[in-house]
Structure 1
Amino acid sequence: MKKHLGAVGALSKQYWQYLACKVWQEGCEEEEEEEEEEKEPSPGPGWSLPLVGQDYLEILSTWYCSFGKCCKTGDCRIVNNITGLEADLNGQLHGQHLAKEVIIRAVQGFLQSPQSQKALVLSFHGWSGTGKNFVARMLASHLYRDGLKSECVRVFISLFHFPHHKYVDSYKAQLKKQISETVQLCKQSLFIFDEAEKLHFGLLDAIKPFMARYDDKGKVDYRRSIFLFLSNLGGNTINEVALDFWRAGRAREEISMEFLCHFSDEASEGIFVLFFATENGYARSHLLNENLIDFFVPFLPLEYHHVKLCARDAFLARGLPYTEAALDEVARMMVFVPKEEKLFSAQGCKSVSQRINYFLP
């Protein structure tokens, strides 16, 4: 028995040393010297890595990487799981057929492009609670192993990170520094700007070079970066379109991007331009006229049955049983507008997860 245990211990030590050498380059020289000096056979015939299988090494490497970095940059923890992203968008993002279509097409096309000319810039528009932040988190979790905690991801909340306009020059310097340092660490970086309509136009101007077409003279290449802008502006106009479809007896799934763009001059302005509208129009002229925004993503208002689906997901996420009656009760707790039709949830699905606390034993 002792003899067998000794052989197993020697074998485990051998593979651990091999793993240490291959994953974080420790003990490689010692191993080579021992092989040269001893030239002894391994413990047992055929005990080589191919027999055990390269898959085991990859599994152990992944296990080690779950505790820390595998490389000097964050790039080794980029996963770009488009299949998983599409599955989660289809299964968990309710009532947003336009957003699903645009996001998958935009992100997949960008990641598969061998040589992008500029960073990918997406602008999310819609009422609060319709899924803008939810999708941003989902993107982070499927593009990076560590999700929002990844060193490749930076989240900026306008009123939290840049609250005082009198310090805008300081904010500009800090923001440019953080973006530059993140891209140097990870060529494929993700930058999320929440409450984007409240960004000072000076900050928008400061980040403009990072979103523009690549200049070979620059020292850092930003072409593999992704910028997300999340805004409530345009939500009222998007809701008017959805309400008109409902009043006409048409399904919301019939709403197309083309229809939104040509709904009216007001819609064109309200949905796609309001985010950049400032008192002096400076940001609008610099960011829209230079075509820095690649895709505008509208988020439609959520109806009663969408809220029920959100409630179901909240119950499942917490491992709690639910009934149709419970889902209806959660949905009835929400406020619905307009006053006459009471069609759309005023808060979308926001606060739904908190409301199921009423059903805890």
Structure 2
Amino acid sequence: MMMDEEGEDEEEEEEPEAAPPSPSIFSPELRAVMQVWNNYKAMKKRRQAMGCGGADTGPGDQKQAEEAQKRRKKRRSRVLFPSDGRKFMPKQKERSRAKPFLFLFSIIVFLQVYNAIENLDDHVLKYDLEGLEKTLGREVFGQQRAVETLMEHLQDYLSTYSHQRPLALSVHGPSGVGKSHLGRLLARHFRSVVGDQLVIQYFTAHSCPPDEDEGVCAAELVAQVVAATTVAEEDDRIPLVVLDEAQLMPAAMLDALLDLLKPDQSNELLNVVYVLLSNLGHEDITRHVLHNSSSSSSSSSSFFSKGQEMEMEEALRSSLAEKQHPLWGEVEALVALLLLEKSHVVECFLEEMMREGFYPERAHVEQLAAEMAYYSAGGRQYSQHGCKQVVARVNSL
């Protein structure tokens, strides 16, 4: 038995002292991470122990904890400033190449606009509209508002040469208020600034009498307009066509004029100013003046508001277009010459007598004016025949 136990002990002693280490299931990187984590937990435990000041800590550990605490305080109170050196310098802003071109483009546009404005002024200066306005204001009595309206349309149209359609102005008024005189002043002024070839002054009663064929009259008028516009096209000027006594024009002539006012025609026929003078609608104008007369105003041309003038113009336009001819529905503006007051008749007498070489006294002139026939409305006196009989009365003196 003893032999058996000894044999067993020898067998146990003969067993290998240590088995070779088996390969780990963790990779080296993972083991390194685990080791770092274990070190961190151990360090954390030591710091907690040092902070609590436990009895199991030795003098050396307490000293180390105090030094570590001082280092932390010193590190916390330290102020850090940014270093002067920069690893990455910011890129310099690139200058836009479009800015010089935009600046140059702005200068070009400004110069073109300025040049266009200067050209407009130069074009208007050819016609001396300022001198025309002074002449009309001085020689056409009692029609201040009508003259202003006429000049506004001429100023707008003559400020440029190229147009989409001609300018047609129709002047209406009772007998003796200055329609024919206005036409003569316009023709005289334009002859002085653009020449005789570019001004047509057409008197219907003389150029197309009742026994004349109206088709021939229409063809002759169109031929005159074409000849004037052809010359005007070469000189870059705008001709003037004054059509007096338009109420006597036959239907064929009115149709021809309506065709000339259409925009679909040759370029030279688009740059024309037509002024039609007639007494059509004079009953409406007389009725309107007498109905709206006011003794509070000092001038017959000033007691109409803008709304009243537009109302009268639209009523006159629709009436003429419906009862007379569609031509009056296509004109740019209808300008109404109003009734003349007694003071205007006195001015007519003075002007005519001075022209004939008389040096009249004021009392004599007022006596002559008082012999004329007048309408009475709103504390005013309006001449029934305007200044039409003034010339005959002065010639009889």
Same fold? TM cut 0.5: yes
Q: Distance in 2 between matches of 1:258 and 1:107?
A: 22
Q: Which of these residues, 151, 157, 171, is aligned with residue 104 of structure 1?
A: 151
Which deviates more, 194-203 or 253-262? Answer: 253-262
Q: Who is 2:205 aligned against?
A: 159
Q: 1:114 Cα shift? A: 4.2
What SS does the aligned partner of 1:254 have? coil
Q: CA deviation at 1:235?
A: 1.6
Task: Write out per-residue CA displacement over residues 185-240 of structure 1, whole angstroms, 9 at most, x where no aligned residue.
Answer: 2342211212212222221111223222253xx2x512321111111112222122
- Within the alignment, does 1:272 sit opposite 2:317 as a pair? yes
Which digits, 9 at most, give the CA deviation of each residue in 1:15-36, with x for residues without a partner?
Answer: xxxxxxxxxxxxxxxxxxxxxx
- How far did residue 312 of structure 1 move? 1.6
The superposition leaves residues 97-151 of structure 1 with CA deviations (integer Å, 9 ceiling, x where unpaired) of 221111110111111124222211110010111111111111122222189x922
- Letter of the structure 2 residue corresponding to residue 122 of structure 1: L
Whether the aligned pair in 2 keeps the contact of 1:231 and 1:275 (CA below 8 Å) is: no
Q: Which moved more, 1:110-119 or 1:124-133?
A: 110-119
**2:347 counterpart letter in structure 1:** L
What amino acid is aligned across from residue 230 of structure 1 in structure 2?
L
- Count matched residues: 267
One-letter identity of the residue aligned with 1:238: I
307, 311, 331: which is aligned to 2:345? 307
Q: Which moved more, 1:97-106 or 1:331-340?
A: 331-340
The correspondence for 1:293, drawn from 321, 325, 331, is 331
Please give the residue correspondences for 1:44-63 in structure 2 after superposition, counting only pairs within 5 Å. Answer: none
- State the 1:309 CA deviation: 1.0
- Structure-2 change in CA distance of 1:256 and 1:247 (3 Å): closer
Partner of 2:223: 177
Query: Partner of 1:228: helix, strand, or coil?
Result: strand
Deviating above 6 A after TM superposition, structure 1's stretches of 4 or more consecutive aligned residues are 339-342
Residue pair 2:203, 2:245 contacting (<8 A) in 1 also: yes
2:165 is paired with a residue of what secondary structure? coil
Q: Tell me if the contact between 1:302 and 1:348 (Cα under 8 Å) persists in the aligned partners.
A: yes
- Counterpart amino acid of 2:343? H
Segments of 5+ residues of structure 2 without an aligned counterpart are: 1-124
CA distance in 1 between counterparts of 2:193 and 2:373 reads 36
In the alignment, which residue of structure 1 is the partner of 2:371? 333
Aligned pair partner of 1:212 in 240, 262, 270: 262
The CA distance in 1 between the partners of 2:243 and 2:322, in whole Å, is 16
TM-superposition CA deviations, 1:27-46 (whole Å, max 9, x none): xxxxxxxxxxxxxxxxxxxx
TM-score by length of 2: 0.60
Partner of 1:262: 311
Matches within 5 A, 1:126-275: 126-145=173-192, 150-164=196-210, 167-187=213-233, 188-213=238-263, 215=265, 218=266, 221-246=268-293, 249-250=296-297, 252=300, 253-262=302-311, 268-269=314-315, 271-275=316-320
Identity of aligned residues (%): 24
Over aligned residues, Cα RMSD in angstroms?
A: 2.9
Partner of 1:186: helix, strand, or coil?
helix
1:127, 1:81 → 2: CA distance?
29
Contact 1:125/1:232, CA 8 A, preserved across alignment: yes
What amino acid sits opposite 2:249 in the alignment? L
How far did 1:337 drift? Answer: 2.9
The one of 337, 348, 359 equivalent to 1:321 is: 359
1:162/1:168 contact within 8 Å kept: yes
